[in-house]
A and B are shown apart, each in its own frame.
Chain A
Amino acid sequence: MTGSYLRNEEPVTHDSVRVLVPSGMLGSGFPPEIIERGLDLGADVIALDGGSTDSGPYYLGTGTAKTTAAAVSRDLRLLLRAAATARIPLIIGSCGTSGTDSGVDWVAAMTREILAEENLGLRVATIYSEQQATDLKKHLDQGRIHPLPPHGDLDLATLESCTHIVAMMGHEPIVEALAAGADVVLAGRATDTALAAALPLMAGLPAGPAWHAAKIVECGAQCTTDPRSSGVFATIDATGFTIEPLDPAVSCTPTSVAAHMLYETADPFSMREPAGTLMVADATYRALDDRRVRVEGSRFEPGPHTNKLEGARITGYETMSFTAIRDPHILGQITTWAQLLRRVTADRVTQTLGLSTDDYAFDIRLYGYNAVLEAIDPGTLPPREVGVMLLVSAADQQTATAIAKIANPLMLHLPTPDMDYLPSLAFPFSPAETERGAAYEFVLNHVVDVDSPTALFRINLLENTDA
């Protein structure tokens, strides 16, 4: 692609679009040389994901970010400078980890501050993707919300129980923001792929290679021979795409690229986007040289337009306590000991607080024995030491902590049935209890049929910050 894509140009067909992806996530850090190399290769756009559901429901539930502000700001500054220098757009999606409105505002505030400090005159567009249960109720009533496996039909109570709901945008709202003249697009929840696919699709390139390339680059160097390195560069054209790492010491091989379709996907051959389905079963992967791979044969089948919903709600309030056992006698009967702890704690909670096991729940995890896999653990070796985590969930924080405190003397002194003295176990902390606050769960795994791919999203072109 030649010339600037900015400043309200009409979309025109280009021979190719070159996409620079500096890393797998905004705030994860990348060497500045990666960006320089991408610009030298003639990047037409910088695209970067700002979030994921992978670290759990807490971030969507609270509308807060997993990444720390200093790390996000550091990456943003390098990217904004690069976008201004090369006069190419910068597209960031799923701002603030979960793509809530608060996440977009958080990244937008940092962006404005950096643009002012650096005296960069870039136009910023924000795209909001948060949804209100009252608005979604209309879609639900009209039968326009459908479950994805393994979920069943959605009910209104579930929608209303969410603290935050976001819809995942495809490329269309991003393209609209670029067409309106945005130099920097800060999007709420978006598919990881929409960010890198937006400009190639806007330029009229075929959807198969555009979406497939976008999937391959979405985790940065994960598709290279060294996933610890940073940055990949994809050139999308009329017949396919070419991919290469931005770290000169690293390679892309046909295997490293093809294998990336496996990563975090339930189905490696087809992938649903809001606008249709990417099909890669017939794609071919060919080495152009020892660092670059050519991919052809990917197809995109347009489908009814849908946007996926994500929602999180509070399940309760948690308090955690942790002790440790080194005594070989207790370790020799560790499952018996844990059953005893479970039973005596429940009895004492009933005696003291008058609560039944319907009112609260707790989990006892034996770290060093079978905490991670528990019933499906294939291991049989006796442990040398065990960390005992008690995790309590109750309707409010005070109750959760009261239950953990009732368990405290047991976690300090509980003997096995055959001991006639009280052991003292190894607490690592005083106080033993840590209040975790509200705990969340993901509850939505549904799509909404929409008439327009931009209907659920609000695009806001901010004032030019040109100083």
Chain B
Amino acid sequence: MPETGTPRTVADLALEVRSKNAGPFWVTMELFIRDSTGYDLVAGPGYLSAPVIARLYGVAAETIRIFRIPELNVVKISFPRPVAQGSLRDRDIHAGQHHVPLALYPLPEVF
């Protein structure tokens, strides 16, 4: 996460981007944005929409829940786990590395 230079991805505006299981059947991720300016950009309508998340994660848009929490400069995203926890195809038991596609998502061209 560069402290200087032009921010290019969501992670560049964030203190932390994380993901984790929310029970065995859901995954949830949070963007902790550094300040309200960055938050306004990331939380803006149409930027991190359900169709965008659906494309990043290969899940159905109608299953995605997005929470915008301006008091904390947080955007939180939850959706059913596409692969059952602990199954043969599950490569991330805690879903703890699934924040990366979101963290590396390019920012809108405003800088």
Q: Which residues of B contact A151 (CB under 8 A)?
A: 25
By a CB distance below 8 angstroms, the chain A residues around B36 are: none
Chain A 115-156 interface mask (CB, 8 Å, partner B; 1/0): 000000000000000000000000000000000011100000
Contact between chains at A268 and B86 (CB < 8 Å): no
Stretch at the interface among A30-38, A229-237, A326-334, A375-383: A375-383
Q: How many A-B residue pairs have CB under 8 A?
A: 105
Q: Are A445 and B25 in contact (CB-based, < 8 A)? A: yes
Q: Which residues of A contact B65 (CB under 8 A)?
A: 266-267
Q: Is A57 an interface residue (CB 8 A)?
A: yes
Do A258 and B56 have beta carbons less than 8 Å apart? no
Evaluate contact between A56 and B80: CB separation under 8 angstroms.
Answer: no
Partner of B88, one of A149, A264, A363, A377: A363
B23: Cβ under 8 A from any A Cβ: yes
Contact: B21 with A54, CB < 8 Å? yes
Residues facing A in B29-51 (CB within 8 A) are 30, 32
Give the size category of B's interface with A.
35 or more
Within 8 A of B (CB), among A45-61: 53-58
- Asked, given contacts A263-B20, A266-B26, whether A315 binds B88 with beta carbons under 8 Å apart, the answer is yes
A102-110, A435-443, A448-456 - the one binding chain B: A435-443
Task: Please indicate which of the listed interface residues A315, A362, A373, A391 has the most CB atoms of chain B within 10 Å of its own CB.
Answer: A373
Kindly provide the distance from the CB of A456 to the nearest chain B CB, expressed in whole angstroms.
19
Report if A86 contacts B (CB, 8 A): no
Complex Cα gap A378–B80 (Å) = 21
Q: Determine if B24 and A57 form an interchain contact, defined as CB atoms under 8 angstroms apart.
A: yes
Chain B residues within 8 Å of A149, by CB = 80
Is A71 an interface position by the 8 A CB rule? Answer: no
Q: Counting CB contacts under 8 A, is B6 at the interface?
A: no
Task: Say which residue of A374, A391, A442 sits within 8 Å of B85 (CB atoms).
Answer: A442
A374→B91 contact, CB < 8 A? yes
A361 to B71, CA, bound (A): 47
- Least CB separation from A308: chain B residue: B23
Q: Say yes or no: is A372 at the interface (Cβ < 8 Å to chain B).
A: yes
Task: Report yes or no: B69 in contact with A55, Cβ–Cβ below 8 A.
Answer: no
The answer to whether B101 touches A54, judged by C-beta atoms less than 8 angstroms apart, is no
Asked if B88 and A440 sit within 8 Å, CB to CB, the answer is: no
Contact indicator A267/B86 (Cβ below 8 Å): no
A342 interfacial by beta-carbon distance below 8 Å: no
Q: Could you say which residues of chain B place their CB within 8 Å of the CB of A316? A: 88
7 nearest CB pairs, A to B: A56-B86, A150-B80, A442-B24, A266-B78, A266-B22, A266-B26, A57-B86
**B residues adjacent to A (C-beta < 8 A):** 20-26, 28, 30, 32, 56-58, 63, 65, 67, 69, 71-72, 74, 76, 78, 80, 84-89, 91-94, 97-98, 100-101, 104-105
Q: A150-B63, A262-B74, A361-B88 are in contact. List 12 more A-B contacts (CB 8 A).
A: A54-B20, A262-B28, A318-B88, A363-B88, A371-B91, A374-B91, A376-B56, A377-B100, A378-B100, A378-B104, A441-B84, A445-B25
